[in-house]
Amino acid sequence: MAGSKFVLNVEDPFAPISFKNSLGFKTGRQRSERPFFINKTAPCRQACPIGVDIPAAFYRASKEDVDGALSIYLQENPLPGVCGRVCYHPCERECNRGNFDEPANIRTFERFLSDCGRVNIEKDVPLNSKKKKIAIIGSGPAGLSAAYHLARTGYSVTLFEARAELGGMLRYGIPSYRLPGSILDREIERILSLGVHPQLKTAIGKDLDWKDLDSFDAIFISIGLQLGKVLFEGRFQRIIS
């Protein structure tokens, strides 16, 4: 009612008032309890096929450290310029931001880092620190990735390619309007800077016999399936027999 005055009966047990301090209600600062941080995997990183720490890269970029953000990508992905253009970006489907407005454009972010960031990866790896030699047959995405990570681990890597240029299906299977050759060349040059030795126009079993690879401690076969699965299985059977 207009002009009426509410009077609180403090003796009422259900009255919304207390003469005790906050400790009586177990609120406020408690010496027996401490908050703790749980570092869980972000949904976008969990959806990434190679597990790039996407939140950490975004954090570095937010601090105007583009080079640092690119270095985070290069810990897992040797081809950020390629993936920044042709990846099917499953990370964006799982982005938490999509619950508020729209997912972060992670693939374009990766492309930006590749185009604008500069990282000298040679200074952070022990090049040729191990005596074992690895032969990689095929220079597609699998062969290039294997060469990159093996070289960063310290192995001496030789990359055999039957064609005149490295890249495999990245070069011969993706149209240039989606993946310009200059971008792929830049990515490959970064991998070769780690001491990877390319041997072009060298088809194993034709230009070079399989026995010539006996000097290598291990062989990684990544020739793809351009010639068909049956032919590939026939070659592999001859290798192991």
Q: Are residues 94 and 144 in the same domain?
A: no
Q: Residue 161 is part of which domain span? A: 126-240
Q: Are residues 156 and 184 in the same domain?
A: yes
**Is 23 within the bounds of a domain?**
no
The residue type of 113 is L
CB-based contact 197:159 (threshold 8 Å):
yes
Q: For residue 236, give the CATH number of its domain.
A: 3.50.50.60
DSSP 176-195: TTTS-HHHHHHHHHHHHTTT
Q: Are residues 86 and 137 in the same domain?
A: no
Q: Are residues 145 and 171 in the same domain?
A: yes
Q: Are residues 164 and 99 in the same domain?
A: no
Given this model, what pLDDT does residue 74 score?
95
Q: How far apart are CA 133 and CA 21, in angstroms?
A: 72
DSSP alpha helix (H) spans, the chain: 43-47, 54-62, 66-74, 80-86, 90-93, 106-116, 141-153, 169-172, 181-192, 229-240
The torsion region of residue 166 among left (phi > 0), alpha (psi -120 to 50) and beta comes to: beta
Q: Are residues 150 and 233 in the same domain?
A: yes
- Own/partner long-range contacts of 4-10 (Cβ < 8 Å, ≥24 apart): none
CB neighbour list of residue 215: distance below 8 Å, 6 or more residues apart: 133
Given this model, what pLDDT does residue 21 score?
62
Given this model, what pLDDT does residue 205 score?
87
DSSP 60-76: HHHTT-HHHHHHHHHTT
Choose the final residue of a domain: 57, 90, 119: 119
Given this model, what pLDDT does residue 36 score?
74
Q: Are residues 107 and 132 in the same domain?
A: no
Q: Are residues 83 and 151 in the same domain?
A: no
Q: Is the pTM of this model over 0.85?
A: no
Segments of the chain scoring below 70 in pLDDT: 1-34, 225-241
Q: For residue 92, give the CATH number of its domain.
A: 1.10.1060.10
Q: Are residues 177 and 110 in the same domain?
A: no
Given this model, what pLDDT does residue 234 score?
52
Q: Are residues 137 and 90 in the same domain?
A: no
Partnered with residue 18 across adjacent β-strands are none
Q: Are residues 115 and 221 in the same domain?
A: no
Given this model, what pLDDT does residue 177 score?
93
**Is 108 within the bounds of a domain?**
yes
Q: Domain count of the chain?
A: 2
CA neighbours closer than 13 Å in the CB half-sphere of residue 55: 13
